[in-house]
Structure 1
Amino acid sequence: MTLLITTLATFVTLYTLLLIARVLLTWFPTVNWYSQPFAALSQITDPYLNLFRSIIPPLGGMDFSPMIAILLLQFIGNSLQAFK
């Protein structure tokens, strides 16, 4: 059971890092999201972010869905760490 919890906690941490990389890359307008490795990053992170984008619309041109998504992942990761 400990191995499963550790694996899930590691996955949550890695996925959070991918989300942070995705958000930081959106600050650069020259990033071509159709070329590799950016297309792979987009394919990995967009399904999860789209869940929050459908609930929270952009406000004033700002997309707050990544912030909520990362906070939820952090909560899940911290909960998994508490079970160790």
Structure 2
Amino acid sequence: MAYFMSLLYTILSKALDIYSTLIIVYILMSWFPGAYQSKFGRLLSSICEPYLGFFRRFIPPIGMISFSGIVALIVLNLAKSGLYSLFQLIMRIVY
């Protein structure tokens, strides 16, 4: 059971890491004109925009700079920390 829980945590943690990396790449693409119109840009848009769009509704840009991506990454990092705490709690209860 402990091996399964460890494996599940590792998979979920890596998934959050990969998603964070995709969001960083998507945000950096804004520096390159026409990058969002490429196939890769459209693919990243379909993956990242639903999550980032949620934060854009509540956090308006300041001037020409949007901080919603930074807040989204912070929330993902907090989710990863919460996931670790949750699995630690479950392991203490079960064992």
Normalised to the residue count of structure 1, the TM-score between the two structures is: 0.87
2: distance between equivalents of 1:53 and 1:59?
12
Q: Does 1:60 align with 2:59?
A: no
Q: Deviations over 1:7-55 (max 9, x none)?
A: 1111100000000001111111242x23311110111000000000011
User: Identity of aligned pairs, percent?
Assistant: 37
5+ residue gaps in structure 1? Answer: none
* Higher RCO (C-alpha 8 Å, min separation 6): 1
Paired residue for 1:79? Answer: 82
53, 68, 72: which one aligns with 1:69: 72
Letter in 1 for 2:30: T
Provide the rounded CA distance (Å) in 2 between the counterparts of 1:79 and 1:21.
24
TM-score, normalisation: structure 2:
0.78
Find the structure with the greater CA-based Rg. Answer: 2
Aligned residue pairs total: 83
CA distance in 2, matches of 1:81, 1:25: 31
Q: Which runs of 5+ in 2 are unaligned?
A: 89-95
Structure in which a larger fraction of residues adopt helix:
2
Question: Moved runs in structure 1, 4+ residues, more than 2 A?
Answer: 78-84
